[in-house]
Chains A and B, each alone.
Chain A
Amino acid sequence: MNEIQLIEACKNQDAIAQRKVYEKHASKMYAVCLRYLKSDAEAEDILTQGFLKVFSKINLYKGEGSFEGWIRRIMVNECLNHLRRTRAMLMTVSIEKAQYYEADSTDTLHQLEAEALMECLQRLPDGYRTVFNLYAIEGYSHKEIAELMNISEGTSKSQLSRARELLKKYIKDIEKTSNISRNA
């Protein structure tokens, strides 16, 4: 059964087809949820809600663009909605803190394994992480991010630069610990 047949079957509320779609995309979408949300429990909740929405709104999928991309957009939107609901102070980071992070931005960057990078990403504040995820990984423009997060484009740009500097700092920290472990 190819993807089009699976989608048609899902439109007819076929449980087997739904399960196949879930098995095919769940691991990727779970990773997406984990990038936006810190805890596994939150990510699981949002994954469930996202798939519920996928199966209930599957009639709206017209075949324009990849099905995976459509599901991913739903998951990203669900993550953003969840962040909006649960974290009212999403975008507030003090200026002093931001300047402190920028002071360490001249260090060298290391290419890390995916798990280490994920750890760095999850250490970021919610606002920084969301903007970085949307811009660097999902490929949204600052204008789109501003609309999605209900912020100005300037805020989106500043959040992105601060997120980058913080990531550089985290990577440096990881490098230091790895050097210590090697020397030991």
Chain B
Amino acid sequence: MKKLQIYREMPKNEQLDELFAQKLGNLERTPPAALWAQLEEKIAQQNAMLTTHTTAKKRHRIGMVYWSAAATFVGLLVWIGSNYYPQNNSNLNYSTAMAQKAPNHQQDNFKQGKINATPFSQMPNQVQMAQITETKKTQNEKVENLIEEEKNRLNENQNNQYITQETNTSTKIKVTVKINHKTAKKENNNIVQTTPTTDLQDIVSKKDKRSKLNNTLREINNIRLGESEKWELSNVQLLKK
């Protein structure tokens, strides 16, 4: 049974508070001995969590720095490539294998040391790709040039033929006209009164009708041989009339 000290008088509220504060304010109770061990374990766990958290943070920071540096480097490479690669593209290195396959003037350059003798397999991928594209380009250009030349040759032949045809036509027409004129003149000189010559004489003598004749002659120049023949026939018929 607990010891009790009994107060006979009725204490006030403040006295009650004071009593509890005095007795219980500085009260000590020994906790179980195992409690420190538990606390120690919990402290160790907390420290481990803190260290893992801090290391994770550090790793994250290092990773961020690494990736940002890598991104900057790649960006720099791209920039350099985009700015300087087209300029250096003309000075591509040719491999020995390509040099052997290359045309004679390129082989001469290769022998003279103007072109580097770096093996194709040892070259960087970018350079290899550039070389392949370059060879494709040159091949395409050659084919295109050949086609162009062939076209030009064919056009020239056609033009020549056409010109010859035209010239033939014009000469023939001129000849016929001259003949007609001559015949007209001869007929005039001889004072042979024939209807076609008089018609022609009338046409030739009048200046305004001369220009018409010239126009018709120009048109005739553009007409093919068959048509000019028709014209000759019609002209002959006209002369006959």
Query: Could you list which residues of chain A lie within 8 angstroms of chain B, going by C-beta atoms?
Result: 13, 15, 18-19, 22-23, 26-28, 30-31, 34-35, 44, 47-48, 51-52, 55-56, 106-118, 121, 132, 135-137, 139, 161, 164, 167-168, 174-175, 178, 181
Contacts and interface: CB of A to CB of B under 8 A. Distances in A.
A114 B27 contact: yes
Nearest to B13: A164
A139 to B, nearest CB: 8
B4 A30 contact: no
B interface bracket (residues with beta carbon within 8 Å of A): 35 or more
17 contacts: A13-B47, A22-B39, A27-B28, A27-B31, A34-B29, A44-B31, A55-B43, A108-B6, A108-B7, A108-B10, A112-B2, A112-B4, A112-B5, A137-B21, A164-B16, A175-B4, A178-B4
Contacts of A47: 31, 35
Contacts of B9: 108
B80 interface: no
Contact of A118 (B6, B27, B38): B27
Contacts of B191: none
Interface of B: 1-11, 13, 15-17, 19-21, 23-32, 35-36, 38-40, 42-43, 46-47
Contact of A30 (B11, B21, B30): B30
A38 B6 CA distance: 26
Contacts, number: 119
Contacts of B38: 48
Contacts of B29: 27, 30-31, 34
Nearest to A167: B16
A158 to B, nearest CB: 13
A42 to B, nearest CB: 13
A178 B5 CA distance: 10
Nearest to B12: A109
Given A27-B30, A31-B29, A108-B8, A48 B35 contact: yes
Contacts of A175: 4, 6
Contacts of A168: 16
Given A55-B43, A108-B8, A35 B24 contact: yes
A116 B2 contact: yes
A119 to B, nearest CB: 8
Contact of B20 (A15, A23, A137): A137
Given A26-B35, A110-B7, A116-B2, A31 B13 contact: no
